[in-house]
Structure 1
Amino acid sequence: MQNNQQHEPYKDFEEMFKEEKQEKQEQLDKKQFRQKMLSKHIIALSSYIVGFLFLASLIILLISLIPGSINKVSPVDQVIESVISDSDGIAFVEKEAFNNSNSVYKKYLYTLDYDENLLIVVNNYNLDTFKKDWVIIDEDKSEHINLDTLSEFIDGTRTTWEGNRKIVLYRTDEGQMGYPSFIVNYDLVNDVVINKDTQRYSNMTITVTNVLINVILIGVVGYLLWPNIKIDFEPFKKKDLQMILGIFVGFGILFGAMAVSDVIQQLITIIFNISGGQSQNQLAIEMSLSGFGIPLMIFVTVILAPIIEELIFRKTIFELSRKPWLGIIISSFAFGLLHVSSELATLTSIGHFLYVLTPYLAMGFAFGGVYMIFKENVIVTIGAHMIWNALSIIIALVAF
C-alpha cells in the first residue's frame, strides 16, 4: 500500500507530460492543417474576386439577351431617383409623373404641392431642414410652400440649405414632366439637367444575376473550404449549446455595434455638414423588394449572401492574415468597401461616403469579434448574419 502511494506522484507527473505532449501534438496538427489549407484559401479569395468582376458581367450579359430584361427609364424618373440618392437635392415634378413612378420611391421622399400640377420633391433625410424654412403650416395644420423662401431660391439669393449645404435642383428639359417653368433664369440656381431616356437592367435581371453568381461562388468556395466547414459544423452536430447560443449572442453584439454606428453617423453629419442618406447597396435591395423578384431577393439577402460573405471575409481573410487583430481590420474594411462600392467609384462627397460606410464597417468589426470569441467558427457568424439580414428585410417590407 505504501509502495503504491509512493508511485502516485510519478503517475501524476507522467499524466502531466502526457497532456502537454498531446496539446503540443494538437497545435502541430492544427498548424499543418492550416498550412495545407493555405493554397485553397488563396484560390477561394481569387475565385470570389474574379467571380464578381468577370463572371457577374458575363451572366448579366447573357440574361440581357432575354426580352424584357432591360427597362427604359424616363428623364423624370431619373430626376426622382437623383433626389433619392442626393439628400441635398430638390425637384419639381408633375403629379401625374410622380404617381405613375415606382411606389418604392415614396418611402424616401417628401412631397408638397406647389400648385395643382406640380409637386415639390425632397429627400426625407433633409425633411427637418426643408420644413424649417420652406414650409408654412396654416391654422388647419395644412402644409404650404413658403413663397418668400421659394422666391429667394429662384432669384439666386438662397443657394444653400442649413449648414451651408448646396441646394441641387434636378430637372428635365422644357416639355418634359420635371421642368419648373416658373424659374426664369437657370444660371441663378445650381441645377442638374436630365433630358434623355436611359436603359437599365430590370430589378429581376439584377436579382437573378445575384442568385446565379452567389450559387456558383458558394459551390466553388464551399468545395475548396469544405475541410474547414466540416470542422466548424462539429459542435453543432454535438448540439454544443455554447456554439448554438453564439449565433444569438453574435446577433446581440451586432445590434450593439449598429447602435454605436448610429452615434458615429450623427457625428459625421455634424462634422461634414451633411443630412445623411442611404447607401446605393441598401437602395438597390429595397428597390428590388417589389413584384415577382421579392422571393429571390429574400433568398439572396438572407441565405446566399451571409454564406459566401462569411466564408470569404471571416474564414478566408482571417486564415490568410494569421494574426487576429489584422484579420479583423482587413476583413472589416473589405466587407465595408464591398457594400459601398458605388459610392467609392463616384466619391462625390467624402462625408456621404464615410456616412454610408460606417454601418457596414461596424458590422464587419462585430462579425470579426464574434468569429474570434467563438473559436473562429464560421457557422456562428453565418447564423448571426442570416438573422440580421432577415430582420432588415422584414423591416424594409413593413415600411413599404
Structure 2
Amino acid sequence: MKAKISRYVIGIITIWVMLFLYQTSQLPAHMPELIGVSESRDYQWLFIVLVTITSILFIWLELYTFDDARRYYGNAYIEHQPTRKHKWLMFGIMVLILIVFIIVQHFIKTPDSENQKMVVKAITEFPILNIYGVVVLAPIIEELLFRRLFFVFFFKGMDNPWVRGLGIITNGLFFASVHTSLFSPGMWVYTVMGMLFATTYVTTKNVKFSIALHMLNNLVALFY
C-alpha cells in the first residue's frame, strides 16, 4: 500500500512538472505575439525551427521519464502487445467513433472554450507556425504525457476491465481539466476527446495510434 501511494505521489508531481516544462518548451511558438512581430511570414520559419528544437528536447525527456518509470514500476499490460491486425482494427473503430463525435458535436451548440479561442487567434495571426504546432507537435507531446506517463503511474492493472474503464474516464477528465475549466459548457468535448485517445492507447497498447488519432482530430478541427 505504501509503495502504491508513493507511486501516485511521484506520478502527480512528475505530471505537473512535465506540464510546466511542456508550456516552457512551447514558448517559441508564442514569441511572435509576445515580441510584437508584425510581418509574421518573414519570421515564422525561424520560430518553427526554435519550437521544433525545444519540442524534441522535451519529447526526449518524456521518453526518458517513461522508460525510467516503467523499469522501476513495471507495466505488464503494455508489455503484452496485441496482434498488428487487432491494433489496426481498433484504430479503425476509433477513427469512425471520432468522425461520429465530430458530426454530433457540430449539431450541439457549445460555446468555444478559452483554449479554442486562443488557438483560432494564434492560427489567424501566424498560420504556418501554429498549424504546425497544433497538428504535429501538440499531439505527439500530449499523447506521451497524458497517455503514456499517466497510465504507467496511475493505472497499471488494466487487465481488469473495470480498472481499464475507470482509467479511461479519469484520463478523459484529467485531459479536459488541463484544456478548459471542468465547470465550463465545453468540458464534455475535451472529456470525450480524452477518453477517445485513452481508449485508443489502451486497446492498441501503442501510443503511435493515439498520436495519429489526435493529429487527425486537430487537423479536422482546423477546417470543420
Provide the TM-score with structure 1 as the length reference: 0.40
Please state how far the C-alpha of 1:45 moved relative to its aligned partner: 6.1
The one-letter amino acid of 2:91's match is I
Q: Of 201, 213, 216, which residue of structure 1 is paired with 2:57?
A: 216
Instruction: Provide the rounded CA distance (Å) in 2 between the counterparts of 1:357 and 1:71.
Output: 32
> Is 1:286 aligned to residue 116 of structure 2?
no
Matched with 1:70 is 35
> Is 1:334 aligned to residue 178 of structure 2?
no
Residues matched between the structures, number: 199
Secondary structure of residue in 2 paired with 1:277: coil
Task: Tell me if structure 2 keeps the 8 A contact 1:314–1:371.
Answer: yes
Show the 5 A alignment for 1:9-88: 46-53=13-20, 56=23, 60=27, 69-71=34-36
Specify whether residues 366 and 379 from structure 1 end up closer, same or farther in structure 2 by C-alpha distance, changes over 3 A only: same
Q: Of 274, 297, 304, which residue of structure 1 is paired with 2:137?
A: 304
Instruction: Provide the rounded CA distance (Å) in 1 between the counterparts of 2:15 and 2:50.
Output: 15
Instruction: Provide the rounded CA distance (Å) in 1 between the counterparts of 2:112 and 2:192.
Output: 16
CA deviation profile, 1:206-240 (whole Å, cap 9, x unmatched): 98887566433311111233587xx979979x9x3
Task: Tell me if structure 1 keeps the 8 A contact 2:15–2:150.
Answer: no
Please state how far the C-alpha of 1:363 moved relative to its aligned partner: 0.8
Task: Tell me if structure 2 keeps the 8 A contact 1:248–1:384.
Answer: no
Show the 5 A alignment for 1:157-176: none
Task: Tell me if structure 1 keeps the 8 A contact 2:176–2:194.
Answer: yes
Matched with 2:199 is 369
Task: Tell me if structure 2 keeps the 8 A contact 1:328–1:369.
Answer: yes
Secondary structure of residue in 2 paired with 1:225: helix
Task: Tell me if structure 1 keeps the 8 A contact 2:168–2:198.
Answer: yes
Instruction: Provide the rounded CA distance (Å) in 1 between the counterparts of 2:211 and 2:25.
Output: 28
Q: Which protein shows a greater Rg?
A: 1
Task: Tell me if structure 2 keeps the 8 A contact 1:333–1:361.
Answer: yes
Q: CA RMSD in A?
A: 4.2
Q: Which has the higher contact order (CA 8 A, sep 6+)?
A: 2
Ranges in structure 2 where 5+ consecutive residues have no aligned partner: 38-43, 71-76, 157-162
Secondary structure of residue in 1 paired with 2:123: coil
Specify whether residues 280 and 59 from structure 1 end up closer, same or farther in structure 2 by C-alpha distance, changes over 3 A only: closer
More strand by share: 1
> Is 1:250 aligned to residue 94 of structure 2?
yes
Secondary structure of residue in 2 paired with 1:289: helix
Please state how far the C-alpha of 1:48 moved relative to its aligned partner: 4.3
Secondary structure of residue in 1 paired with 2:60: helix
Percent identical: 23
Secondary structure of residue in 2 paired with 1:290: helix
Instruction: Provide the rounded CA distance (Å) in 1 between the counterparts of 2:150 and 2:115.
Output: 22
> Is 1:321 aligned to residue 155 of structure 2?
yes
Specify whether residues 219 and 253 from structure 1 end up closer, same or farther in structure 2 by C-alpha distance, changes over 3 A only: same
Matched with 2:73 is none
Show the 5 A alignment for 1:141-156: none
Instruction: Provide the rounded CA distance (Å) in 2 between the counterparts of 1:48 and 1:368.
Output: 16
The one-letter amino acid of 1:367's match is F
The one-letter amino acid of 1:69's match is L
Please state how far the C-alpha of 1:334 moved relative to its aligned partner: 0.7
Instruction: Provide the rounded CA distance (Å) in 2 between the counterparts of 1:309 and 1:55.
Output: 9
CA deviation profile, 1:125-175 (whole Å, cap 9, x unmatched): xxxxxxxxxxxxxxxxxxxxxxxxxxxxxxxxxxxxxxxxxxxxxxxxxxx
Instruction: Provide the rounded CA distance (Å) in 1 between the counterparts of 2:14 and 2:164.
Output: 23
Provide the TM-score with structure 2 as the length reference: 0.66
Specify whether residues 387 and 56 from structure 1 end up closer, same or farther in structure 2 by C-alpha distance, changes over 3 A only: closer
